[in-house]
Amino acid sequence: MGRNIFRRRKMRQESTEGESFSAELGTDLDKNLQDLQVMIGSPGDLVIRRVTLGVNVNAAVAFISGLSNKEAIHNDLIKNMQRNREKEAGSDTPDELLKQMQLDLISIGSVENTNSLDKLTIDLLSGKSVVYVDGAAEVLLLGTEKWETRSIDEPISESLIRGPREGFVENLQTNMMLIRRHIRDPNLRFDTNEVGRRSKKKLVVCYMEGIANPDIIKEVNHRLSSIDMDGAMESGYIEQWIEDSYLSPFPQMDNTERPDKVASSVLQGKVGILLDGSPFALIAPITIANAFKSPEDYYDRWLIGTFLRFIRYIGAFITMFLPALYIALVSYHQGMIPSQLAFSIAATREGVPFPAFVEAIIMGITMELLREAGARLPRTIGQTIGIVGGLVIGEAAVSAGIVSPIMVIVVALTAVASFTIPLYSVAISFRLLRFGFMIAAAVLGLYGIVLVYIMINIHIVNLKSMGVPYSTPFAPTFIKDWKDLVLRGPIPMMNERPRNLQPKDKRSGNLRR
Helix, strand, coil shares, percent, the chain, to 5: 50, 15, 35
339 scored as a contact of another protein (CB under 8 A): yes
Residues 6+ apart with CB under 8 A from 78: 49, 51, 61
User: Which region, judged by CB under 8 A, interacts with another protein, from 61-69, 81-89, 198-206, 458-466?
Assistant: 458-466
Question: Strands 129-133 and 111-114, how do they pair?
Answer: unpaired
Q: Give the full edge-to-edge strand order of the sheet including 111-114.
A: 46-53, 57-64, 129-133, 139-142, 111-114
List the interface residues with another protein, window 347-386 (CB under 8 A): none
Q: Is 444 in the site for another protein (CB under 8 A)?
A: yes
Nearest Cα neighbor of 51 from 132, 118, 123 is 132
> Of 21 and 482, which CB lies nearer to another protein in the complex structure?
482
Residue from the set 18, 41, 335, 378 that interacts with another protein by CB under 8 A: 335
Least distance to another protein, CB of residue 472, Å:
8
Q: Residues 6 or more apart from 68 whose CB is under 8 A from it?
A: 127, 128, 129, 144, 145, 146
Site membership for another protein, residue 510 (CB under 8 A): no
Q: Which is nearer to another protein, 338 or 378 (CB)?
A: 338
Burial class (CB in 10 A: 0-12, 13-18, 19+), 248: middle
Residue 450 CB, nearest approach to another protein (Å): 5
Residue 482, CA distances (Å) to 36, 257, 261, 465, 485 in order: 60, 26, 20, 19, 5
* Residue 371 dihedral angles phi and psi, to the nearest 5°: -65, -45
3-state SS assignment for residue 222? helix
Residue 377 beta carbon to another protein: minimum distance, rounded to whole angstroms: 39
Would you say 119 or 459 has its CB closer to another protein? 459
1 or 451: CB nearest another protein: 451
For another protein, the binding residue among 149, 157, 187, 462 (CB under 8 A) is 462
The smaller minimum CB distance to another protein, of residues 112 and 496, is found at: 496
- Residues between 42 and 61 that touch another protein (CB under 8 A): none
Give φ, ψ of 25 to 5 degrees: -80, 125
CB of 111 or CB of 461, closer to another protein: 461
Residue 333 interacts with another protein (CB under 8 A): yes or no: yes
Binding another protein (rule: CB under 8 A), the pick from 476, 486, 492, 493 is 476
Site membership for another protein, residue 342 (CB under 8 A)? yes
Q: Is 445 in the site for another protein (CB under 8 A)?
A: yes
Residue 354 C-alpha from the chain's centroid: 43
- Residue from 210, 249, 405, 467 that binds another protein (CB under 8 A)? 467
**Cα–Cα distance between 5 and 496 in angstroms, integer?**
50
> What would the x/- binding string for another protein be over residues 213 to 242, using CB under 8 A?
x-xx--------------------------
The verdict on 41 binding another protein (CB under 8 A) reads no
Residue 130 and residue 120 in contact, taking contact as beta carbons nearer than 8 Å? yes
Q: Shortest distance, CB of residue 429 to another protein, whole angstroms?
A: 19
Evaluate whether 479 touches 498 at the Cβ level (below 8 Å). no
Nearer Cβ to another protein (186/335): 335
Residue 464, interface with another protein (CB under 8 A)?
yes
Distances, alpha carbon 172 to alpha carbons 203, 275, 387, in Å = 8, 7, 39
Please identify, among the stretches 53-61, 138-146, 411-419, 459-467, the one whose residues bind another protein according to the rule CB under 8 A: 459-467
CB of 440 to another protein, least distance (A): 9
Residue closer to another protein by CB (options 237, 474) is 474
> Under rule CB under 8 A, which residues in 276-305 are in contact with another protein?
none
Task: Report d(CA 381, CA 386) in Å as an integer.
Answer: 9
Which residue among 33, 111, 304, 337 contacts another protein (CB under 8 A)?
337
Among 156, 229, 455, 493, interactor with another protein by CB under 8 A: 455
CB nearer another protein, residue 412 or residue 444: 444
User: What is the closest distance, in whole angstroms, from the C-beta atom of residue 247 to another protein in the complex?
Assistant: 13
In degrees rounded to 5, what are phi and psi of residue 206? -120, 125
Residue 177 binds another protein (CB under 8 A):
no
Rounded least distance, CB 507 to another protein, Å: 15
Rounded Cα distance between 257 and 167, Å, is 5
**C-alpha span between 398 and 407 (Å, rounded):** 9
Q: Is 72 a binder of another protein (CB under 8 A)?
A: no
Residue 336 near another protein by CB under 8 A: yes
**For residue 422, what is the DSSP state?**
S
Contact call for residue 461 and another protein (CB under 8 A): yes
The Cα-based distances of 189 to 51, 213, 442, 484, 504 in angstroms read 41, 13, 52, 26, 15
Specify the stretch interacting with another protein by CB under 8 A; choose among 45-53, 293-301, 333-341, 387-395: 333-341
Query: Burial, 512: exposed, middle or buried (Cβ in 10 Å; 0-12, 13-18, 19+)?
Result: exposed
Residues 154-169, buried b or exposed e (16+ Cβ, 10 A)?
ebeebebeebbebbbb
Instruction: List interacting residues with another protein (CB under 8 A).
Output: 213, 215-216, 332-333, 335-339, 342, 444-451, 454-455, 457-458, 461-462, 464, 467-469, 471, 474-477, 499, 502
